[in-house]
Chain A
């Protein structure tokens, strides 16, 4: 089974609107971390936001927020007030366990977001 599933290959959003990118995960570990990365056409992966499995509140970082629903094993990224520069590939990722046991990430297949002026 896939560890991370992103079911939206491509999304379009109007500039200044909000958009939600879906991510579901599969793990039997109690301790894990969920991450979202942005990859513009230049290729570099840019860290956006983190949610720990024990965090009770949804993470927020500026215009990015993570809608964490633990029972449903979903970690959707919400981008508010979309900007043209938000056009990129977005990857959801998970790290199982604790850092001292390993630092391997599982990535989803990504969602290509296009912001329309």
Chain B
């Protein structure tokens, strides 16, 4: 069974640019969440999508946005990149009928903003 696939694995962007990250969840998982991980702030929740609808959003500026497609694949977009956006971005997918399942995480996209 394929895991959660995130592309690209590594990305280097210049301040002011925008970036799109992609996530393909495990087949059958309809909930997709995104997290930002930095040494200083740890793991912070960005947003969660279910059935193409954003159900929850973390405390991030509007430059961070996302969407989910009908096949549950999700994309995350960051516009007007800042140096502080350098982080590991983790996508996680889940069932919504098993409380004990938690998430399956992807390997992440490591974004470096220069």
Residues of chain A whose beta carbon lies under 8 Å from any beta carbon of chain B: 33, 35, 37, 42-47, 50, 52, 91, 93, 95, 98-100, 102-110
By the criterion CB–CB under 8 Å, are B96 and A33 in contact?
A: no
Chain B residues near A45 (CB-CB < 8 A):
90, 92, 103, 105
Alpha-carbon distance A98/B43, docked complex (angstroms)? 21
Alpha-carbon distance A53/B96, docked complex (angstroms)? 18
**Interface residues contributed by chain B, number (CB under 8 Å):** 29
Chain A residues near B99 (CB-CB < 8 A):
33, 50, 52, 98-99
Beta-carbon nearest neighbor of A59 in chain B: B100
- A103, A105, A110: the one contacting B55 at CB < 8 Å is A103
- What 0/1 pattern do residues 76 to 114 of B give for CB contact below 8 A with A? 000000000000101010101111111111111010000
Q: A47-B103, A52-B100, A102-B48 are in contact. List 19 more A-B contacts (CB 8 A).
A: A35-B102, A37-B105, A43-B108, A43-B110, A44-B107, A44-B108, A45-B92, A50-B99, A50-B100, A91-B43, A99-B94, A99-B96, A99-B98, A99-B99, A103-B56, A103-B103, A105-B33, A105-B43, A107-B35
Give 3 nearest A-B pairs by CB, closest first.
A45-B105, A107-B43, A50-B100
- What 0/1 pattern do residues 6 to 33 of B give for CB contact below 8 A with A? 0000000000000000000000000101
Alpha-carbon distance A95/B55, docked complex (angstroms)? 14
By the criterion CB–CB under 8 Å, are A44 and B106 in contact?
A: yes
| A-B pair number, CB within 8 angstroms | 70
Alpha-carbon distance A89/B99, docked complex (angstroms)? 24
Known: A33-B102, A45-B92, A98-B99. A103 touches B43 (CB 8 A): no
- With both chains docked as a complex, state the minimum distance between the C-beta of B93 and any C-beta of chain A, in angstroms: 10
Alpha-carbon distance A106/B56, docked complex (angstroms)? 13
By the criterion CB–CB under 8 Å, are A99 and B58 in contact?
A: no
By the criterion CB–CB under 8 Å, are A107 and B100 in contact?
A: no
